[in-house]
Amino acid sequence: MIIRSVLLPRSRCVPRVWWRWRGVVNSVPVVMTAEVTDELSRVDGTAVCCRRAEVATLLRFCEALHIGAGRVVVIAEVDTGSVARRLRQGITGLYGYPCAVQVLPPLGRRSGGRYVVQVIADGEALARRTGLLDRGGRPVRGLPVPVVAGGACDAAAVWRGGVSGAGFAQ
């Protein structure tokens, strides 16, 4: 059993580490740095469809939908303050729901804190409008149809929201 890691040459894309195990090559996601996530959060998305696609993707990849005790609450936890501000501006600007942002202290060896964006009062309505819930109130897997069937600007917004929310690209 021989395991060897090979670091591929850097490019403009996300760096990947490839693992070889008896001739099988597997891709392992590499955690994004705070600088790249911060830069992605500062990209302007002027079209409403692009901003909606990015908000829906951020909420999906942050696993923001919480259902319990008959209530639906949207709580998204992100790494950087700029992503939290962008998500808050998207929720309040596009959908009109008030949301709160809390800063959590760093845990363990983490250098920076975590940011939590919460929509508690209107969580179910926001989840329905972003496509996290269907008409029956059940959680939906994947991204909503308008986001997936959108144009090239929606695809760029989905990538931006996915990398900003999950912190890695696979």
For residue 133, the model assigns a pLDDT of: 92
Pick the closest to residue 57 from 6, 125, 132 (CA basis): 132
For 57-100, how does the pLDDT look when each residue is reduced to its tens digit (9 = 90+)? 999 988 889 988 888 999 999 888 888 999 999 999 999 999 99
Task: Please list the residues that pair with 130 across neighbouring strands.
Answer: none
pTM of the prediction? 0.74
For residue 43, the model assigns a pLDDT of: 77
All structural domains of the chain with their residue ranges: 1-30, 34-165
Cα–Cα distance list, 168 to 14, 49, 58, 64, 148 (Å): 8, 24, 13, 17, 20
Could you tell me if residue 96 is left (phi over 0), alpha (psi between -120 and 50 degrees) or otherwise beta? Answer: left
Fold of 34-165: Endonuclease I-creI (3.10.28)
For 116-131, how does the pLDDT look when each residue is reduced to its tens digit (9 = 90+)? 999 988 899 999 999 9
